[in-house]
Amino acid sequence: MGVKPLSAFDLSLAAGLVVALALCSWRLRLGLEKRMAISALRTTVQLLLIGQVLRVLFAHASFPFVFAISMVMLMVAGREVGARQHRRIKGFSGWLLGTGSMFVSSFAVAFFALAIVIANDPWYTPQYAIPLLGMLLGNTMNGIALSMDRLTESLWQQRRMVEQRLLLGRTSLEAIHELRQQAMRSGMIPIINSMAAAGLVSLPGMMTGQILGGSSPMDAVKYQILIMFLICAGTGFGVVTAITLTCRKLFDDRQRLRLEVLQKQ
């Protein structure tokens, strides 16, 4: 039995709940109704658009097409990383730092899963590659954004303490050791909490989708365990890479703190 198709009317009923929440925000003067409406509109347009793209992609699977879609996803995710930080690194280097960290972690983990674990033929089959990479990028993006935001904000607030440590002869890594640890924890805790609660508190999205699509619950469970492990690894490696590169960017060759490279949103 396949998934029961949803009509436009069915979706409008769900949208009514968002409208009701927006009205509640307006009544309570939370100021979130505009952002909520824009986000809901973006979700609708973006998902409808990607649905059409994936329909064509699945019908004409080719590595260049899959790679091009993957690069678009990566570049958009890199932009979102910068947009979610209160104090981000200025210019193109800030975008490149987040994007490069996601490329190193998410693409490496995705290739490992597709070519070695799942081992489909060809390994870049879009039905597997695009959803898997999308889940990895989405979670890695959140982890990197949280960790970088925590690091830059902490450095800004505690800049005098860090500079005092540097004056006392500490290296840059020694001066911000605790801040680096806290930033990395901030980026990894969400996925660790998700793994701890999976199955008991929540049924993850991929597992739910497979069950709704008619897959065996045990097959869905096995795929979900694989996905959770991959997301954990991708997020963790991405966070470590991003924080390491950010720390290098925030200090010069003479171990001096360079907060002028930060830009407040």
Contact 22, 37 (CB under 8 A): yes
Q: Domain residue spans in the chain?
A: 1-60, 62-264
Residues found in the chain: 265
Contact 83, 99 (CB under 8 A): no
Contact 83, 150 (CB under 8 A): no
Q: How many CA within 13 A on the CB side of residue 203?
A: 9
List the beta bridge partners of residue 263: 88
Residue by residue, pLDDT tens for the chain (265 residues) are 556 777 888 889 999 999 999 999 999 888 888 999 999 999 999 888 888 888 887 777 788 888 988 999 999 898 888 888 888 888 888 888 889 999 989 999 999 999 999 888 888 888 888 888 988 998 999 999 999 999 999 988 898 998 899 888 888 888 999 999 999 999 999 888 888 887 766 666 666 666 666 667 788 788 888 888 999 999 999 999 999 999 888 888 888 888 777 777 6
